[in-house]
Structure 1
Amino acid sequence: MMMSQEIGPVLRRLRMSAGRSRPEQAEHIQTFQGGRYFDPDRLKRWERGERIPTSTDFQLIADAYSLHLEEVRQAVSLARQARRLARLHPLIEHDQAQEEDRVDRRSFIGTALAAGGTMASEPWGRLAAALHGGPVDKPTAGELEKSTGELFTAEEHMPARLLAARLTSHLDNITTVLPRAGEHERALTIAAGETAALAGWLYWDLGDHETAACYYSTASLAGRRAGHGAVNALVLGYASYGVNSEKAREMLTAAQEHVRGQGYATARAWLCAREAEEAAAMGDQEAAVRALDRATTAFDYAAPGGEQAWMSFFGQARLNSFRVATYARLRHPELTSAADDALASLDGVDTKVRVAVLGDVATGYLTAGDIEQAVEVGRRALTATVQTETTMGKVRLTALADRLPNNSTARTFREEIRAAIA
């Protein structure tokens, strides 16, 4: 069976499951190499990710830890990939030596809480019992996981400033029960990582990029500790909005590697569509069109609303708006048709997705030369942006205002945008 964790956490988990200290594990390893001395510090560096085993170590590790050789190779490959990702973007870097201590104390979420503040726990009956020291049972864990999903749904409608306190409180609840999570530890660690990623997105939306970076880093750590790459894909997808197009493409390509399994088609479609958008921004038409094709193919296999809670925003309307945004940047001949399709698919969508779609469609019509339609759709986008207070909407409308011509209708709308955003 293929590993879903890097080699360091795997070795540490197996050692602890055997009840051995590092020196004891080093002695155990010695028996598999003819009694030759094995340095416990070497093992320490492996477990912390400070060093990655080389191919000459693979068979020894497989023998000493009762693993298949291919499992070792896969875990080492994941470790190398994680190291490349850490170099790729500072939002997902972390100090490996400090990481282990934080995790052992079950307080790795503390970094994010320190950045975002800690709120009192919500008064849930079953959770209150757990907070008094009892073990976390299945209903309590299920309630926390369900509440995590509900936060992503709430984010589609609620301004970031209103949701932030509720989200931080939920993260505090998970952090409090993690030491007693038992068999539910991995599931709750994943929920904590998803919650921290959403917190990063909210604080980025609020303009607090330093706090957003803390949450993203902590979310990435949670995903790594749980061996759940999808959390890291979510972090990379969110964080890609805050960097230049070249860096964003690298991050989005890396993110797609984490969501290749069954049940992640919607996530793949989103990440591919984002890649198309950024490729188009760089003028790479061929790559942009290929990425859009991959997004469409993935979406054909998707079950929107039936996969990850954090992908609940991504439906046909949002996919269509990504196509419009990509075509607008490429000045594609099918831009007007794509804009019409996106507008038609918007019926019944009344969330922040509406802001993104209307903003993309307005820009698409303007690029195609239909100024009257651009202004009409742009006014709808402005109304939705004011209601939801979303930064993404403001960014789109500011860019639209800068491109509007100086005829009377467009000039009046430009002034409306600037007054509303100011």
Structure 2
Amino acid sequence: MKKGGAGVGNAKRKRFGAYLAQLRRDARKSQRQLAETLCRISATASVTRHEISRWERGERVPAVWLPALATALDVPLDSLERSAAHARGEDVGTASRSPAEAFAYFLPDHDVELGPLANHTGRRVGASTAAALADRAHGLRLADDVIAGGDLLAPALRELNAAVRLYRETTHSEETGRSLLSSIGELAQIAGWIASDAGEHEQAARAYRLGASAAREAGDLALVGNLAGSLAYQLSNTGHEDDGLSLAQAALEEAGPDAPAKARALYLDRVAWAHTKAGNAQPAMRALAEAHEAMTAEDTQESPVWAYWVSPEELDVMDARVYTELRKPLRAVPLLQEVLSRYDSTHTRELALYLSWLAVALVDANEPEEAAKTARRMLDLSADSASDRTARRNRIVLTKLEPHRDIPEVRDLLSTHAA
């Protein structure tokens, strides 16, 4: 596992504190009640509410109190010990966390304000309002197909904030409330995805946490899995490979084998990518095969609306990306060429991203001239794109071509895009 400086250590302690706070709330105990329980278990009076608060804020990581905490909170001691060791910066293998640990660790909801305002008597809304909000969430997803994150982030955040205000400042039935919460979760997922595309990773993580809290409250487990998998994907792509793998596996396990086929295929694809980024070639390949099996399995549930884009072609793209990352260009190139030959040209960002993978695979296949041609098309498509993901891929492709500068086609491309 990679280790960072003091900032990383503080973040780990805070995540452990959030995990501990979630366990306490699940046990229906206040901080004072937990302190009193610990004192009874240990037959001492040395734990106070203030000490519990320090643990949950991440200021300290308990050590000698872990066995008593496990008893008081009715959780396995080894789970607490692994999480505490990770918070202290010890190499414990984050992928060994249980799904419940991973969700509470990476997606804590203790600081998410979603409940209706106390004593609020605002206007009453019903099913039509909930349906309209769901339509707005889907409209934002469709906009993301053709608009880059940097251009769409501000409108996306406005939509999300307005949805939260609508839920908190109105009255509604329990059924309508669940529908509103699911739409908040969907808006948060796509807003997080847009923020990540714009390079605003902290903003994305906050949106995912909000969305997970809303989806949990609505009882929408498939959506919780999508939010967790989205954050896992970001972690895998931003230097937190072990954490990304831990959360991607948790999303898959939490959804279970009865999740809608498209959702399960998506979760498995994210597990495959997380394994790839963590350097686990064989588990990545197995997850890819399982994703295709899930996609073709008989579906006993209706696919969620947000999974509209998950298709056999998209699974092929992930296959090719994994093959490219694992330096298997003879598998990657034909797949990408086939998908790109019939890809919707209005989705310019996705088209540019997929071309970037093809360019890298062509270099690995010792076809630098064809790679340069592909890269030129990619760069032309993304010239005015406000997408951080695309900009990163552009730099990767140009760096990959640099050793072949003596080839005229490559030299011309690198000279044109030297900046």
After TM superposition, the score normalised by the length of structure 2 is 0.67
2: distance between equivalents of 1:340 and 1:148? 32
Deviation at 1:10, TM superposition (A): 9.2
Deviation at 1:263, TM superposition (A): 6.1
Aligned length, in residue pairs:
327
Deviation at 1:399, TM superposition (A): 0.9
The code of the aligned residue for 2:173 comes to G
Deviation at 1:297, TM superposition (A): 1.4
The aligned counterpart of 1:393 is 390
The aligned counterpart of 2:80 is none
The code of the aligned residue for 1:414 comes to L
The aligned counterpart of 1:313 is 309
2: distance between equivalents of 1:94 and 1:10? 12
The aligned counterpart of 1:224 is 216
Question: Within the alignment, does 1:140 sit opposite 2:129 as a pair?
Answer: yes
2: distance between equivalents of 1:175 and 1:186? 13
Question: Within the alignment, does 1:151 sit opposite 2:146 as a pair?
Answer: no
The code of the aligned residue for 2:370 comes to Q
Q: 1:324 to 1:168 in 2, by over 3 A?
A: same
The aligned counterpart of 1:212 is 204
1: distance between equivalents of 2:74 and 2:326? 45
Deviations 1:273-319 (A, max 9, x none): 2332332344422112101101211222499xx83333333334332
Give the 3-state SS of the residue equivalent to 1:135 in structure 2.
Answer: coil
The aligned counterpart of 2:67 is none
1: distance between equivalents of 2:159 and 2:374? 37
Task: Pick from 102, 106, 120 the counterpart of residue 84 of structure 1.
Answer: 102
Question: Within the alignment, does 1:412 sit opposite 2:412 as a pair?
Answer: yes
Q: 1:392 to 1:308 in 2, by over 3 A?
A: farther
The aligned counterpart of 1:181 is 172
Stretches of structure 1 lacking an aligned partner (at least 5 in a row): 1-5, 13-21, 23-40, 42-49, 56-79, 108-131
Q: 1:377 to 1:203 in 2, by over 3 A?
A: same
Task: Pick from 230, 238, 257 the counterpart of residue 238 of structure 1.
Answer: 230
The code of the aligned residue for 1:202 comes to I
After TM superposition, the score normalised by the length of structure 1 is 0.67
Give the 3-state SS of the residue equivalent to 1:156 in structure 2.
Answer: helix
2: distance between equivalents of 1:412 and 1:164? 35
Question: Within the alignment, does 1:93 sit opposite 2:93 as a pair?
Answer: no
The aligned counterpart of 2:356 is 359
Q: Is the 8 A contact 1:194 1:231 kept in 2?
A: yes
Q: 1:218 to 1:382 in 2, by over 3 A?
A: same
Give the 3-state SS of the residue equivalent to 2:382 in structure 1.
Answer: helix
Deviation at 1:160, TM superposition (A): 1.9
Q: Is the 8 A contact 2:102 2:250 kept in 1?
A: no
2: distance between equivalents of 1:282 and 1:314? 24
Counterparts of 1:310-349 in structure 2 under 5 Å? 310-332=306-328, 333-346=330-343
Q: Is the 8 A contact 1:153 1:309 kept in 2?
A: no
Deviations 1:13-62 (A, max 9, x none): xxxxxxxxx9xxxxxxxxxxxxxxxxxx9xxxxxxxx964579xxxxxxx
Counterparts of 1:256-335 in structure 2 under 5 Å? 256-260=252-256, 264-301=260-297, 307-332=303-328, 333-335=330-332
Deviations 1:309-335 (A, max 9, x none): 333333343322211111122232423
2: distance between equivalents of 1:335 and 1:279? 17
Question: Within the alignment, does 1:192 sit opposite 2:184 as a pair?
Answer: yes
Q: Is the 8 A contact 1:167 1:199 kept in 2?
A: yes
Q: 1:309 to 1:392 in 2, by over 3 A?
A: farther
Q: Is the 8 A contact 1:401 1:414 kept in 2?
A: yes
Q: 1:382 to 1:313 in 2, by over 3 A?
A: farther
Deviation at 1:389, TM superposition (A): 2.5
Q: 1:227 to 1:418 in 2, by over 3 A?
A: farther
1: distance between equivalents of 2:136 and 2:150? 19
Deviation at 1:7, TM superposition (A): 10
Q: Is the 8 A contact 1:153 1:312 kept in 2?
A: no
Identity in percent: 22
Q: 1:401 to 1:226 in 2, by over 3 A?
A: same
1: distance between equivalents of 2:308 and 2:416? 32
The aligned counterpart of 1:36 is none
Deviations 1:143-193 (A, max 9, x none): 111111111111111122332232233223322331413231111111112
The code of the aligned residue for 2:326 comes to L
Give the 3-state SS of the residue equivalent to 2:146 in structure 1.
Answer: coil
Q: 1:170 to 1:282 in 2, by over 3 A?
A: closer
2: distance between equivalents of 1:271 and 1:291? 9
Give the 3-state SS of the residue equivalent to 2:343 in structure 1.
Answer: coil
2: distance between equivalents of 1:345 and 1:302? 27
CA RMSD of aligned residues (A): 3.6
1: distance between equivalents of 2:122 and 2:116? 16
Q: 1:380 to 1:249 in 2, by over 3 A?
A: same
Q: Is the 8 A contact 1:220 1:235 kept in 2?
A: yes
Q: Is the 8 A contact 1:197 1:219 kept in 2?
A: yes
The code of the aligned residue for 2:371 comes to A
The aligned counterpart of 1:247 is 243
Deviations 1:235-258 (A, max 9, x none): 222222234333222221111124
Stretches of structure 2 lacking an aligned partner (at least 5 in a row): 1-21, 31-48, 50-69, 77-97
